[in-house]
Structure formats: structure tokens, C-alpha cells
Structure 1
Amino acid sequence: MTIIDNIFGPAHGSGYTEASSVLRADASDSFLVIPNDDFVLEAGYERLGPDLLLSDKAVDSDRSVVVKDYFVQAQLPDLHTSDGTAVIEGRLASHLAGPSTPGHFGHIQLAQAQSDTGSIASRYSQAQGLSIGDVEKVEGRVFLTRLDGTNVQAEKGTKVFIGDIVETESGSSIGIVFSDETTFALGESGRMVIDDLVYDPAANTGKSAFNVVQGVFSFVSGQVAKTGDDAMTVKTPVITIGVRGTTVAGKAAAEGSANSVTLLPDADGGVGAIAVSNAAGTQVMSQAFQTTNVSSAFTAPPTPTVLPASQIQSLYGNISTVLPPKPEPKADDEDDDAASDEEG
């Protein structure tokens, strides 16, 4: 049973205030409802021993929520917004909270082993020292938090790794080119986690997974999406987008606003397909400018509608200008193709 109380009197360690709300996790909790509307989507996450601290990022605010005994649970509870419509999965909450000891990776073993993909735990040995992409465009202040808790300000050419948390400040944006030629843009006041990206061109196999907590985003899928249906996935707190080779714009919105996803035509005029799904249902979109607006993780995505360009611009702003162009084919690849043709 979850117990909610409040802390009164002196502060109880880092981040605790006299007005902190306190929830106590126990083994019977599959999820916890976090007070204060969409606070769980916007808050900073921090480990305090066995406890999880959610704190307001605003410097003049002392609003916070403490979830006691959160990290001692065998299965970390999901965190819901106060109206129950949006979800931060337990493994994502653990990732956002960072390592138990800065500079180390021990927190991954428990929390990420619970992931249905097991992405970071199973891929970490491959990720050590091996980047999976590069920052191509930056406007304003954007930060990457590594798996060991190290915080790096992004600039053009900054390397990107599996497990990075990408955060953009107000008025800021970032465009990333990944090793499989996927390009991804995140707009202002956004936050996302790069869960996984593995690609083997020789075997034509791969998998990529991105988790957008908040913000406007856009992407053009690369080689991984061509290896199989839903080999590339993008999650928000209310939906999962299974990508089947295409260009997409989306918005992970705060509580009370719908999460939007729009299928866009590719640069060559072609149109791919995506499957937008959650616990209640799935919609497959395969027509240019089809859009669905989903307000809850537990309500099926509605039938998509085709929007005019003016509405798409209103939904996503200038995110398309942040999206890096697709990389040019490598000369070596072209030479290999030519050689194969001659041998054939």
C-alpha cells in the first residue's frame, strides 16, 4: 500500500524541503501517482540512497516529491501523472535519476534488466568508448548526460552514446546524425533518452530505441528501420511509435495537451509508414500528413486525420529546420557496389 505524507520541520538532506510531498513505495505497487499535475514529466530526477527525489528545475521553486524506498523494489513502479494519462516507466525513472555513485554504472544492472529490451544492460559492453552518432546542429544551450552521470554541453561534433540523456533549454534545439543514417531533432525545453542503437550492415540487422519525455521532435529513419517492422521505436509518455522507414514529426506534451504524431513525406516524395500504439490500441499511418493526437496512455489512438501544412507548422514550429540532412553515401560503399556490379 502506498502511503502519502508530508515532511515538516528542517530539511532532510539534499533536495528535501519543509513542503516536500512523500510517497512510500512497496512491493505491491505496480505504479505510483505523482501529485502536482504533470510534475513527473518536467521534474529533475535524483537518487537519495534508496529514495527517488523529484524536484522542480526552476531555481526559485522548492516543490519536490520524495518516493521513499523506490530503488529497493525488485520491480520499479511506473510513475503516473496526477490524472493518470501519462506514464514514466520505472526503468526510465531509474535512468533519469542517474547512477547511484557518479562515475559508475552499477545502477544499470537492476533497473535496465527490467526493460523489455534490456537495451542498456545488454549493450553496455558495446557502448564503452564507441559513439553511435554526432551532434550536427545546436542552437542555444543543450546538454548530454552520460551513463556515468557526466554532463556535457553539446556543440557541433560532440559524440553521442547509448544511454545519453539529451536536454534542451528554452529557446534551444539539437540535431543529431546517428551511425545508421537516422537523423533526429529535439526542440526547446525537451528531454529524451537514447535507449539503444545497434546496426550490423553485413547481416542487415539492427535495433534502435528512443524515449522522448517531453518536447517537439522530428526524425528521418535510417538503415535500422529498413531491417524489419518496428526495428526502430520512439516512445513518449503516452504512445510508442513503431517506425517502418519514413519521416515523422511529433510532440510529447504536458498533461492536458495531446501528444501529436504526423507522418511526413520523405525528401524524395515517398511516404513510409508508422504504427502508433499504446495499451489500448494501435493506428497504422501510411498517408502523407496523417496526424493522430493521443491524450492518454490508456485511451486508444484516434483515427488519424490529414492536416494542412499550416496546422502542421502550428503544431511543430520550425523543428524541420533543426533536422540534419541525411548523410551522403560513403565513397567506399559506392566503390564496393560498383565492384559488385562488375563482378556480376
Structure 2
Amino acid sequence: MASAAVRADESDRSHAGILKVVRGDVQVQRKEQKLTAQVGDRLFAGDRVVTAADAAAGITLRDDTLMSLGPKSSFVLEGFAFNESSGDGNVAVRLAKGTLRYVSGLIGKQAPDRQMVNTPTATIGIRGTDFIVEVADE
């Protein structure tokens, strides 16, 4: 588990979003570090969020995209870019297992083709604004 100093160092970088809801055992894996997730923690491209059997997490990205992870989920924020002035950007996420509810933010409203959700068996190009994906354990 990383110290508060590591969390502070990470907050100096341009973050993609924050954890708005943390219920139960939720971990953020950043490079070789494992952090016990807390409400208000910043998330960066490349971060993996893992929820335990009785856990859930809610994420808000800087463009107001909302994502909710259910129990026993493994999720990676593969890429995120957002220009607050122009509204341009892109979102790429991967759900390895579990459930994800995705509600599009500004990027999805301005450029739906710049949102991507990957799963082990499919890539979803997002054209709507609100959907749920479930990846079952094998």
C-alpha cells in the first residue's frame, strides 16, 4: 500500500477523474503500487480499479463521464484526454470482468466515436449515452 506522500505526488499530474464512491474493498493499482481506494482519490490513464465481492466504486471523469463498477470487477482506464476549452478528447476503458455502467459526458456528446469500451471478447464503440456491460467470470 502506498503512503499519503505518493498520493500527493500523483495529484500534481494531470488526472483523468476521481473516485466519487467507494464501498467495501476497492483497490487502485498504479504501476507497481496498490492503493486502498478512498473517496476523492484521483485516477490517471493506466490505472486499474479492482472491486472485491461485496464492493463497488463510482468514478467521475473530468468531462463528466460517469462510471459505476459492481462487485468483483476489474477495470482499466486505458486512455483519457480532454481539452476543457474546446471540449475535444477521447476515452478508452477496458472491463476485464464484472459490471460497468457508463454514462457519457461531454466527449460522448460532442464526439461519440471517440469513446471505446473493450472487454475480453468485444470492443464497443459507444453511440448512446447510458449503458451497462457485464463480463462474466470464466
Three-state SS of the structure 2 residue aligned to 1:244 is: coil
Which protein, 1 or 2, shows the higher relative CO under an 8 Å CA cutoff with sep ≥ 6? 2
Q: 1:231 aligns with which of 95, 114, 123?
A: 114
Q: RMSD between aligned alpha carbons?
A: 1.6
The alpha carbon displacement at 1:245 in A equals 4.2
Residues in 2 aligned to 1:231 and 1:241: alpha-carbon distance in whole angstroms? 11
**Deviations, residues 33-63 of structure 1 (Å, cap 9, x unaligned):** xxxxxxxxxxxxxxxxxxxxxxxxxxxxxxx
The alpha carbon displacement at 1:210 in A equals 0.3
Q: Call closer, same or farther: CA 1:134–1:229 in 2, change over 3 Å.
A: closer
**Which residue of structure 2 aligns with residue 137 of structure 1?**
21
- 1:1-344 to structure 2, matched below 5 A, reads 129-147=13-31, 149-255=32-138
Three-state SS of the structure 1 residue aligned to 2:105 is: coil
Residues in 1 aligned to 2:79 and 2:86: alpha-carbon distance in whole angstroms? 18
Asked whether the 8 Å contact 1:206–1:227 carries over to 2, the reply is: no
The alpha carbon displacement at 1:205 in A equals 1.6
Q: TM-score of the superposition, structure 1-length normalised?
A: 0.36
The alpha carbon displacement at 1:203 in A equals 2.9
Residues in 2 aligned to 1:229 and 1:183: alpha-carbon distance in whole angstroms? 15
Give the gaps of 5 or more residues in structure 2: 1-10
Give the gaps of 5 or more residues in structure 1: 1-126, 256-344
Q: Residue 235 of structure 1 aligns to which amino acid in structure 2?
A: N
Q: TM-score of the superposition, structure 2-length normalised?
A: 0.86
Asked whether the 8 Å contact 1:226–1:244 carries over to 2, the reply is: no
Q: Which has the higher strand share?
A: 2
Residues in 1 aligned to 2:111 and 2:119: alpha-carbon distance in whole angstroms? 21
Residues in 2 aligned to 1:230 and 1:177: alpha-carbon distance in whole angstroms? 20
Q: Residue 154 of structure 1 aligns to which amino acid in structure 2?
A: A
Number of residue pairs the alignment of both structures matches: 128
The alpha carbon displacement at 1:128 in A equals 7.2
Q: Please, which moves more after superposition, 179-188 or 241-250?
A: 241-250
Aligned identity (percent) is 30
Residues in 1 aligned to 2:36 and 2:47: alpha-carbon distance in whole angstroms? 12
Asked whether the 8 Å contact 1:228–1:244 carries over to 2, the reply is: no
Three-state SS of the structure 2 residue aligned to 1:224 is: helix
Q: Residue 102 of structure 2 aligns to which amino acid in structure 1?
A: F
The alpha carbon displacement at 1:227 in A equals 2.9
Q: Residue 14 of structure 2 aligns to which amino acid in structure 1?
A: L
**Deviations, residues 123-181 of structure 1 (Å, cap 9, x unaligned):** xxxx972211111111110000113x111111111111111011011111100111010
Q: Which has the higher helix share?
A: 1
Three-state SS of the structure 2 residue aligned to 1:136 is: strand
Residues in 1 aligned to 2:63 and 2:128: alpha-carbon distance in whole angstroms? 12
Residues in 2 aligned to 1:238 and 1:163: alpha-carbon distance in whole angstroms? 20
Asked whether the 8 Å contact 1:194–1:211 carries over to 2, the reply is: yes
Q: Residue 222 of structure 1 aligns to which amino acid in structure 2?
A: G
Q: Residue 140 of structure 1 aligns to which amino acid in structure 2?
A: G
Q: Residue 40 of structure 2 aligns to which amino acid in structure 1?
A: G
**Deviations, residues 269-301 of structure 1 (Å, cap 9, x unaligned):** xxxxxxxxxxxxxxxxxxxxxxxxxxxxxxxxx
